[in-house]
Amino acid sequence: MPISRDYLVKRIVMLFLVVFGVLVIAFIITRVIPARPELLWAGPHAKAEQIERARQDLHLDKPIYIQLYYYLADFLRGNWGVSWRTRQPVLLDIISCLPATLELTITAFLLAFVIGVFLGLVAAVNYNKFVDKAISLISTVMASTPVFWLALILQTVFGIWLQVLPAGMRVDLSLAIKTGFKPITNFYLLDALLQLNMPVFLDVLKRMVLPVITLMMYPLGLTIRMTRSLAVEALQELYVKALEVWGLPKKLVLYRYVLKNVIAPVIASLGLSFGYTITGALMVELVFVYPGIGYYIGMALLSFDYPAILGGIVFVAIIYSVANLVVDIIHAWIDPRVRF
C-alpha cells in the first residue's frame, strides 16, 4: 500500500519550517553578538570610510529584519555569502567539505546499525544471563560517553602512544603526490578504488578507523539497547512461542519474525540520532584534523567567520531534516500504521 500524500506533504512542510527556524535563530545570534563583523570584513588596517562602506555592503546599517530579508533573498538564490577566512563562496566550501563528513558518518551509521542489531538480538536471546548483562552495560557506556573525550583518548592511545593508527588528517599528502592520487568525487575511498590506487585506499581507510569508532559509539549503544528491548518484548508474544512449538528453527523465528518488529523502530531512532552524530562530527573532525563540515564550522567559529558559521549551521539543519524525512518515509513503508 503506497504512503499517503498527506503524510508526505506534512513531513515536507515540517522540514521547511525546521530549516527556516534554524536559519532565523542562527542569523539573529550572529547579529546580536558584539563582534563588529564590518571590521572583520574590511580588514585590520581599514580606514573609517572603508569600515562604513563594509557596513553598507553587509546591510548592517539597516534594522535586523531588513538584514534578514536580504540574507534570505540571497540564500534562496544560492548566494550564502563569502567566507572571510577562505575568501571563497560559503556554499562551494560546504559542498567541497561534505563528502569527507558523509564518508565518516555513513560508515559509522552502517556499522552501528549492523553490529547494534546483531548484539541486541544476542542480548535478547540470552535475556538475564551474563552475556545480556555484559552487552547491556557496554551499550550504556557507549551511549553516554562524550565524543570529544573518546576522540582524544583514542587519538592519544592508538595514534600517539602505540602509533598503530594515524592520529589525524584524511590522507598522507606525500603518498597521494607520490602515487598520483587525484580526487574525483571527493569520497577518497571511492576515488582510490576508481584509480586502482591501493596504497592511498589503505591509508585513507586507516585514517578513518579512529574517527569512525568515535562517531559510531552513540548510535551503536542506542541501537543495541533498542534492539534488545524490542526483541525481548517480541520473544514473549504468543505467536512467536507458537512458532517455536511448531518446530521452526529458532534462528528462522528470530531473523524472519522477531526482526520485523525490531527493524522499523531502530531505523527511526537512528534517524533521530543523526543530528547528534553530525554535531559530534564537529568535535571529532577538529580533534583528528579531518577536513569535513565539522572542521569547517569549527575553524569558522575560531575565526569569527559569520557567513561560514551561518551557512554551516543551516546546511547541517538541512541534512538533519532531510535525513529524518527519509527515515520517516522508510519507517512508514515498513510499518503501515504510520502512513496516514
For residue 163, give the CATH number of its domain. Answer: 1.10.3720.10
Measured CA distances, 163 to 167, 206, 207, 256 (Å): 8, 12, 12, 44
Per mean pLDDT, which of 153-157, 281-285, 323-327 is the most reliable?
153-157
Residue-number span of the structural domain to which 129 is assigned: 91-292
Euclidean distance between CA atoms 104 and 212, whole angstroms: 6
Euclidean distance between CA atoms 200 and 183, whole angstroms: 11
Instruction: Name the nearest CA neighbour of 314 among 271, 278, 287, 273.
Output: 278
Residue 297 lies in a domain: no
pTM confidence score: 0.83
DSSP letter for 164, please.
S
| Residue 335 banded pLDDT, cuts 50, 70, 90 | low
Residue 35 lies in a domain: no
Euclidean distance between CA atoms 222 and 83, whole angstroms: 37
User: Own/partner pairs for 330-339, CB < 8 Å, 24+ apart?
Assistant: 330/267, 331/264, 331/267, 331/268, 331/271, 332/3, 332/7, 333/3, 334/263, 334/264, 334/267, 335/264, 336/1, 338/7, 339/1, 339/3, 339/4, 339/7
Residue 301 lies in a domain: no
Euclidean distance between CA atoms 271 and 111, whole angstroms: 14
**Tally of structural domains, the chain:** 1
Residue 62 lies in a domain: no
Decide: helix, strand or coil at residue 20.
Answer: helix
Residue 223 lies in a domain: yes
Residue 200 lies in a domain: yes
226-257 burial string, b = 16+ CB within 10 Å, else e? bbbbbbbebbeeeebeebeeeeeeeeebbeeb
Instruction: Name the nearest CA neighbour of 270 among 207, 215, 233.
Output: 215
Residue 323 lies in a domain: no
Tens of pLDDT, residue by residue over 23-50, are 999 888 877 776 677 676 666 677 777 7
Residue 247 lies in a domain: yes
Measured CA distances, 90 to 96, 259, 311, 323 (Å): 10, 44, 7, 22
Tens of pLDDT, residue by residue over 175-228, are 999 999 999 899 999 999 999 999 999 999 999 999 999 999 999 999 999 899
Q: How confident is the model at residue 214, as a pLDDT?
A: 94
Euclidean distance between CA atoms 30 and 24, whole angstroms: 10
- With 70 as the cut, is the pLDDT of residue 1 above it? no
Helix 90-125, helix 259-272: angle, nearest 10? 150
